[in-house]
Amino acid sequence: MTAIEVRNLHKRYGQRVAVDDISFTVEEGEIFGVIGPNGSGKTTTVESIAGLRTPDSGSISVLGLDPHKDRAEVREVLGVQLQESSFPDAIKVAEALDLYSSFYRNPADWRELMELLGLTEQRTTQYKALSGGQKQRLSIALALVGNPRIAILDELTTGLDPQARRDTWSLIERVRDTGVTILLVTHFMDEAERLSDRIAVIDSGRVAALDTPAGLIAQASAVQQVRFRVSRPLDKNVLTELPEVTDVEITDGRWSVTGRGQLLSSVTGALARAQVVAEDLRVDQRNLDDAFIAFTGRAPGSPAPAERKAH
């Protein structure tokens, strides 16, 4: 069954287009990653799904419900951990969980949740005295306290140290194993790759690519690079003429050939015909960071290149 369906979402703030045209479907039980540079429209999209922002056009369905018309019902099935969340400084961990659970018809057992999130020792600690990781875990607990079928987690490991990030990841997997569908927003590729069943790469308010982590890498690998030195002088045209080759660069005697398809066999074939031996031959292995750059033209976590105006 479909957990979330977003179709042709569009949202602008004044003249600024935040979400241009975003569509995707999240199936029940999956961890669906939304990744993109800062300012690409991720938070606007997920907060629209949660009914916290009103899109200008497009449609959203959450387990068949409309986030605006069916707001009360959506609140019961959808938990949100917001990018910017703040709680009263003096509230204690157990108090916060107890209070939030009272807002729901069928809340989770908040003590169990406190245990699951490793916060039992901090039960009487005030919010202001919690570490960054503990605050983050509390906000995840609060997103889950209503016993939601879907949880939206927006940049949940930003600001955490590497160990706390890894702990949070295993926690998310445990939550998924309890049957909760997770919409995970992040600008960290390693996080999206490690956790997500599928990933939507968002760029400038649009879906630049949508696939499994392995599928994204395979798509990006469609563009390959072969590097080598030549055993004797060679005319560049021998390679640029090949249908698989899109670019040939020579720096300090090192050849770098970019292209698609059967690039390696095509290049080595042409070299053999020219009686040239490729020395120190390397073929680029693509990873998900490269895939991200291939789809968006920039590194994960980098800001949007320029402000875009409505057209």
User: Which residues contact ligand ADP by CB under 6 A?
Assistant: 13, 16, 18, 36, 38-44
CA–CA gap between residue 81 and residue 185 (Å, rounded): 10
Positions 80 through 99 that interact with Mg ion (CB under 5 A): 83
- Closer Cβ to ligand ADP, 46 or 171, answer by number: 46
- Closer Cβ to ligand ADP, 43 or 122, answer by number: 43
Which residues have CB under 8 Å from 233's CB, separation 6+? none
Q: Which region among 40-48, 72-80, 117-125, 249-257 touches Mg ion (by CB under 5 A)?
A: 40-48
CA–CA gap between residue 161 and residue 165 (Å, rounded): 6
Would you count residue 139 as binding Mg ion (CB under 5 A)?
Answer: no
Min dist. Cβ of residue 206 to ligand ADP (A): 12
Min dist. Cβ of residue 44 to ligand ADP (A): 3
Q: Which region among 76-84, 162-170, 174-182, 285-293 touches Mg ion (by CB under 5 A)?
A: 76-84
Measured torsion, CA atoms of residues 190, 195, 199, 203, in degrees rounded to the nearest 10: -40
Min dist. Cβ of residue 12 to ligand ADP (A): 8
Interface characters, 247-286, with Mg ion (x: CB under 5 A):
----------------------------------------
Give the Å distances, CA to CA, from 274 to 233, 241, 251. 10, 13, 21
Min dist. Cβ of residue 38 to ligand ADP (A): 4
Min dist. Cβ of residue 103 to Mg ion (A): 24
**Tokens standing for 216?**
């994204």
Would you count residue 43 as binding Mg ion (CB under 5 A)?
Answer: yes
- Closer Cβ to Mg ion, 156 or 278, answer by number: 156
Which residues have CB under 8 Å from 151's CB, separation 6+? 78, 79, 80, 81, 143, 144, 175, 180, 181, 182, 183
81, containing H or E segment: strand 78-81
Which residues have CB under 8 Å from 84's CB, separation 6+? none
Give the Å distances, CA to CA, from 258 to 170, 225, 247, 261, 262. 38, 4, 5, 11, 11
CA–CA gap between residue 280 and residue 10 (Å, rounded): 50
Min dist. Cβ of residue 154 to ligand ADP (A): 7
Q: Which does 67 bind (CB under 5 to 8 A by kind): Mg ion, ligand ADP, none?
A: none
- Closer Cβ to ligand ADP, 16 or 282, answer by number: 16
Q: Kind of pairing, strands 150-154 and 181-186?
A: parallel
Min dist. Cβ of residue 221 to ligand ADP (A): 26
Check: CB of residue 34 under 8 Å from CB of residue 185: yes
Place of tokens 């919409």: 183
Min dist. Cβ of residue 242 to ligand ADP (A): 40
DSSP 8-state secondary structure symbol assigned to residue 297: S
- Closer Cβ to ligand ADP, 55 or 213, answer by number: 55
- Closer Cβ to ligand ADP, 261 or 305, answer by number: 305
Q: Which does 13 bind (CB under 5 to 8 A by kind): ligand ADP, Mg ion, none?
A: ligand ADP
Q: Which does 262 bind (CB under 5 to 8 A by kind): ligand ADP, Mg ion, none?
A: none
Residue of 18, 29, 30 lying closest to 200 (CA atoms): 30
Residues at the site binding Mg ion, with contacts judged by CB under 5 A: 42-43, 83
